Amino acid sequence: MQFTWSRFEQLGVDNLYDALQLRCRVFVLEQGAFLDPDGIDRRAWHLLGRDAGGALVGYLRLVDPGVKYDEPSIGRVVTAPEVRGSGAGRALMVEAIVSSERRWPGRGNRISAQLHLERFYNGFGYVRVGEPYGEDKIAHIQMLRSPQ
């Protein structure tokens, strides 16, 4: 996967379209209707992962500290169905964690994770904070990765 980072205003219409299409394909069509563009995109870094043919197969956003949580936050982590199980999601997370630590050294990272992905995020050093809650009709938990 080839990665590119952009702020919202630098994405351009083609990258924005590709990102929203992938997010809708998974978060809306697979998981049920909800308002994906939530106003936070404008205050985040966006990571696009493209395959050798240029197709967007992975995406996430890295939200600035103080927008969603006091800490920076990784969210909207998504891989295309055809690359699931290939390590694409892990590669996205490693890239995001490294970038977060570089941009905001000494800061932790807090996420709102789907409950069934808790073990996946544990593998990156995230630990559960609090009890499960519903978000967009899916069970979620807050997880925190302490500063490294």
pLDDT of residue 91: 97
Please write the tens of the pLDDT for every residue from 10-22. Answer: 999 999 989 989 8
Question: Which residues are registered as beta bridge partners of 46?
Answer: 6, 61
Which of 74, 75, 47, 51 has its CA nearest to residue 59?
A: 47
User: Are 118 and 143 a contacting pair, CB within 8 Å?
Assistant: yes
In terms of Cβ atoms closer than 10 Å to its own Cβ (0-12, 13-18, 19+), residue 82 is exposed
76-119 pLDDT tens trace? 999 999 999 999 999 999 999 999 999 999 999 999 999 999 99
Strand partners, 38: none
Q: Is the pTM of this model over 0.85?
A: yes
The per-residue pLDDT for range 25-55, each reduced to its tens digit, is 887 666 676 667 788 999 999 999 999 999 9
